[in-house]
Amino acid sequence: MPTFAAGQAECHVFTFKEGALSALAHDLEVQVGRFSIEVAPDLALDAKFDAGSLTVAHAVKDGRPSDALSDGDKRKIEKTILGDVLDAKRFPEIRFVAPAPTRTPTGDGFVYQGQLTLHGKTRPIEVRSRAAGTTQVAELMLHQPDYGIKPYSAMLGTLKIRPDIKVRIAVPWQPAG
């Protein structure tokens, strides 16, 4: 059973700012540093992500990486994400479990009907992947309040993170020939 971890695969989380003072904030790309994705022979998945391993990769401006954040800014944001938003000490593991998938209509990806456990709450979720060369890429939107997560807010709500975040996972994949 192949298992993929950081270094072989990638997991990124994208947050988006909103509010009256959003010009003072940044959209973010956050990297998950520790995870394992086990793929069974029938392609069923058991993916575990260490909630305490998130690090801010960079700010994002107009869809592109930006060097707008200092290392100190990144560490401060990470502390807020891990402590105030995710409560990673109390909820250290994020887990996605899904039985064997179906193929996407185009046949180059997969559709998983699984269960995501995040912040102590388990909910059904559909995850779709697509081929990108020798990689399968899954992108999905998560609504933080569905998992009991209150999106970050500051300055009396005039600066906040949108409730919907994007997760992108990329895993090496060689289609059966």
Half-sphere exposure of 7 (CA within 13 A, CB side): 4
CA nearest 108: which of 128, 84, 78, 81?
128
Share of the chain above pLDDT 90, in %: 73
Is residue 68 within 8 A of residue 59, CB to CB? The reply is yes
pLDDT bracket for residue 4 (50, 70, 90): very high
Collapsing DSSP to helix, strand or coil, 74 comes out as: helix
88/99 Cα distance (integer angstroms): 27
Query: Tokens at residue 171, please?
Result: 């895993």
Output the CA–CA distances (angstroms, integers) from residue 21 to 25, 50, 56, 81, 95, in the order listed.
7, 32, 21, 20, 34
How do strand 45-50 and strand 64-66 relate by DSSP bridges? unpaired
pLDDT digits (tens, 9 = 90+) for 122-137: 999 999 999 999 999 9
Are the beta carbons of 30 and 14 closer than 8 angstroms? yes
pLDDT digit string, tens, across residues 24-82: 678 899 999 999 999 999 999 999 999 999 999 999 988 899 998 899 989 999 999 99
Evaluate if residue 177 carries a pLDDT over 60. Answer: no
According to DSSP, residue 100 is labeled: -
For each of the domains in the chain, give its residue range(s) and CATH number, in order of start.
Answer: 3-172 (2.40.128.110)
User: Rounded to the nearest 10 degrees, how much is the dihedral formed by the CA atoms of 94, 95, 101, 107?
Assistant: 20
Host H or E run for residue 17: strand 17-18
Asked whether the CA dihedral 171, 83, 88, 141 is positive or negative, the reply is negative
Percent of the chain with pLDDT over 70: 92
Model confidence at 151, pLDDT cuts 50, 70, 90, reads confident
Diameter of the chain by CA atoms? 56
Task: Say if CB 45 and CB 112 are below 8 A apart.
Answer: yes
